[in-house]
Amino acid sequence: MITKLPQLKHDFTESLSQISRFWGFPKGMGAIFAVLYLSSSPLSLDEIVQQTGLTKGAVSTEVRALARMGLVQRSSKLADRKDYYEAESDFYQSIRSILKERQNSEFDRSLRSVKEMLEKLEAGVVSGNQAEVQFVHERLQALQDFFDAIDSLTRAVVKLEKLGLGNVKSILGVLK
Amino acid sequence: MITKLPQLKHDFTESLSQISRFWGFPKGMGAIFAVLYLSSSPLSLDEIVQQTGLTKGAVSTEVRALARMGLVQRSSKLADRKDYYEAESDFYQSIRSILKERQNSEFDRSLRSVKEMLEKLEAGVVSGNQAEVQFVHERLQALQDFFDAIDSLTRAVVKLEKLGLGNVKSILGVLK
DNA sequence: TAGAACGTTTAGTACTTACTAAACGCAGTA
DNA sequence: TACTGCGTTTAGTAAGTACTAAACGTTCTA
């Protein structure tokens, strides 16, 4: 059974849409990236519109979000008013961008507030049953340690310019 | 300025709600976990209801989801018909559970379908402009390699029984 | 057997969000 | 100046989701 290339591409955009939605991004975003990722040349906004079936407005906003995250690059041709977009093909680069983007969010604000609670506990300015205060202190400290470990690990991964099977193997060795 | 313990707990549940929502979970789920995490003894469903302000129905379903993910444990006392819940305090354990849970999802189905596309390309049953087919083949292969690397890394982390600053330091060393 | 004390399920609601359609602004061109 | 070809913005919509209120089923007890 022969499969036609356009059909294959279409299936791929559907898969990436699912993956995108799974990670909390709009599914249209995944579709746009899929189309760009499988294109050997940069595409204009209208070409993306045509290949995804989305409207111009949607593509306009989503593609800008993708660019902000560093997942696509915007370019232009001389004597051509259109914008052209192409997918970042280095996924390690992409991941780094996404993580960086996420760090400046409300998520980080919540982490900071946990930190502030710990500081209060350490300063001894929390009133209540002392045994319970102690218990809460320990739990929050454990949580904080966990966050710190994850944070370090993330930073380490972000610093990599390439994460290949080689690195992973060495990591596995260390963790043994 | 003295802070009362209940106030501190309340702030904490708010923070965890945010974090929960950020990662794509219902915010009530985060609130429930927060209450359990800061309680030194297992809580009944009604106690959770009282401390979170959610309704029994909501707590019932959310707490079951948490249990399925391994983030809380359900227990019961002899001669007491109530169910009691307590938070898993080992986050590494929790992460492992969550990742395991996620692996059986639609996300994995999407990954498999990418794999099938690659197999078709390798079997040469895809028709179309040969240069383009070749290009698509390379891109999909790169994507697959990336997924494999991430997968190995995840499995490695999942296998750890503890991820401490020590491990992270060693990883950092290797990746240097 | 009636009733109480649980947890679960269901029907409905308020809210969010991804999207569409269309108006808009802005630059280049006749 | 009007027109055309762009990308952007906005107003509105359809669908999903987290929740509430209340009915329900079950098991123990009086």
Mean pLDDT value of segment A149-159 = 72
Q: Which residue has 């710190």 as its token pair?
A: A148
- Among A75-79, A134-138, B71-75, the least confident range: A75-79
C-alpha distances in Å from residue A23, one per residue of A11, A27, A105: 19, 10, 16
Q: Could you tell me how many helices (H) and strands (E) chain A has, helices first?
A: 8, 5
Q: What average pLDDT is seen over chain A?
A: 86
Q: Give pLDDT, residue A79.
A: 77
Output A98 or B4, whichever has higher pLDDT. Answer: B4
Task: Give the Cα separation of B3 and B14 in Å (integer).
Answer: 16
With contact defined as beta carbons under 8 Å apart, do A3 and B119 qualify? no
Q: Mean per-residue pLDDT for B120-137?
A: 94
* ipTM of model: 0.80
Q: B79 falls in which pLDDT band (50, 70, 90)?
A: confident
**pLDDT at residue B101, as a whole number:** 65
pLDDT at B114: 92
Give the least confident one: A116-130, B6-20, B161-175: B161-175
- Quick check: A27 CB within 7 A of strand C? yes
Domains detected in chain B = 5-88 (1.10.10.10), 92-175 (no CATH)
Name which of A95, A108, A133, A172 to mutate to probe chain B: the one with the most chain B Cβ atoms within 10 A of its Cβ.
Answer: A172
CB-contacted nucleotides of strand C (7 Å)? 5-11, 17-23, 28
